[in-house]
Amino acid sequence: MSALAAARAWLAQDPDEVTRAELADLIERADAGDADAQADLDDRFAGRLAFGTAGLRGRLGAGSNRMNRVLVGQAAAGLAAYLNDKAGPDAPPTVVIGYDGRRNSDVFARDSAELFAGAGLRAILLPRLLPTPVLAYAVRHLGADAGVMVTASHNPPDDNGYKVYLGGADGGSQIVSPADAEIAAHIQRVADAEDLGTLPRGVYEIADEEVVDAYVTATATVAPAPAGAAGMRWVYTAMHGVGHETLARILDLAGYPQPTVVDAQIEPDGAFPTVSFPNPEEPGAMDLSYETARAAGAEFILANDPDADRLAVAIPDADADGGWRRLTGNQVGLLLGWRAARTATSGGSLACSLVSSPGLQAVAEHYGLDFHATLTGFKWISRAPGIVYGFEEALGYLVNPGTVRDKDGISAAIAMLGLIAEAREEGRTLADLLAQFDETFGAFASGQVSVRVDDVAIIGRIMAALRLDPPASVGEVGVARIEDLAEGGGDAPAGDVLRYWLDDGSRVIVRPSGTEPKLKVYLDVRGESAVDAEARLAALDAGARALVSAAQG
């Protein structure tokens, strides 16, 4: 089917006035011979936004290659068919739906709830826009068979997404294979056979506030405030997201002082007016936090991303630009892992993605705990046997696996507040804790090289070039061993990942991003001291950039 024919068929079933007008204009212009309009249609209908282990995520707009009400409706109908296929004879499946403050999140959530109900499921919509961790909690708390969170997390403002969780034996974790492929097949059958307008819609339930109250109560127990919390001065930003209301309630219940907030970023706003990319890791995203912290005389900063499943931490640093330094995800992850290991009372395991700092394994071994390295994503980390704590370097932390089987930036914030308050009782700061970690476990330092591309095919060509002509060294350090995880093997999970072990014990990992058009290169070193580790990391960074540049041609 041509793009123009596909566009006409899509227009006939689109219930959204905005995307209908957008598509009708493109069709009219393409019919008149406008080459730009035709190229736009070709792009919008070149394929279908893929449903995988990350669910759906993409740019808002009309067409099968965009996020819109037709695509989401087809996804909801396909997921309903999958759940009905798996259901027992006793009761219809239950699915709970949440949404954040992004454009159309509420619309996509209501559409999904109506289509789930129309397919015979018990559909429960959360009472208002809420953080992703509340939805992940609700799946387990309500005993639901599945959960859907409408969010694109920290993606750019024009994106949205559709994240799927499974209950039952999956314990409220995000979907993994083969469920993703089975759901995708059901979605495709719906898209091939149905006009969205003919699908039945039903009446859904609105969840009681008790669900949110229960999450607040459970999260407050992660780290009730010790005496050292008194007088704590800190700054918080929600990054135009949905984290603040829920966090503020937990702070009161757990006994922590409320923060000075970044006023311009504290209310949900899907336009993200103060940041071009609402991710605390991006340059400039935390500048308003630093400005607020300087004015408030704050001791530290905590930041959630827009759906509050990630946490960033910053501390004063006279040598840093603006006087503040954001800690890396690995630094925060290792501190929280150290805390988890100290408080683990009956064994268990620590887990992190294979691209996260190897320092967590050193912590696990020190405390006699098991350790697991997984593929990236909390769908894998949360499934580590006996997990008591897990993290990934992209600011994601699972600190309360008995409550939420996913990364949770709010419970991680409470755990971090507890860690800081305990240090304050001894007259110490977060910087002191970082130094103590190095003294105890070794000076680990990590970095990342990201190559953003317009054409994702470039990433495949780089990976192919590295496989075809493996490097003998990275910079001036020889490569001792190469692991290609494309086929798995040993204790390593399978994935499109290249792992290089260097002669000096350093590690370089190359993989495509799972959510963005980026190639990511992860660098890890272990030095004799923090200064030595940073020097090793700087040299490795230069070598990694040269390696990728050569592979790119």
Question: Which residues are identified as catalytic?
Answer: 153
Half-sphere exposure of 62 (CA within 13 A, CB side): 28
Contacts of 187 (CB under 8 A, 6+ apart): 51, 74, 75, 77, 78, 79
Angstrom distance (rounded) from CA 133 to CA 153: 11
Nearest to 309 by CA among 240, 214, 224, 406: 406
DSSP 197: G
Query: How deeply is 59 buried, as exposed, middle or buried, from its count of CB atoms within 10 A (0-12, 13-18, 19+)?
Result: middle
Which spans in 194-317 are helix H?
210-220, 243-254, 287-296
Question: Is the CA virtual torsion 20, 22, 23, 24 positive or negative?
Answer: positive
Angstrom distance (rounded) from CA 380 to CA 55: 14
Specify the length of the chain in residues: 553
Q: Which amino acid is at 155?
A: N
Question: Is the CA virtual torsion 306, 307, 312, 316 positive or negative?
Answer: positive
Inter-residue contact 308 to 131 (CB < 8 Å): yes
Phi-psi region of 168 (alpha: psi -120 to 50; beta: other; left: phi over 0): left
Angstrom distance (rounded) from CA 453 to CA 473: 25
- What angle (nearest 5°) sits at the alpha carbon of residue 543, between those of residues 541 and 548? 95
Inter-residue contact 431 to 315 (CB < 8 Å): yes
Angstrom distance (rounded) from CA 24 to CA 100: 29
Find how far residue 533's CA is from the centre of its chain: 28
DSSP 52: B
Angstrom distance (rounded) from CA 389 to CA 407: 10
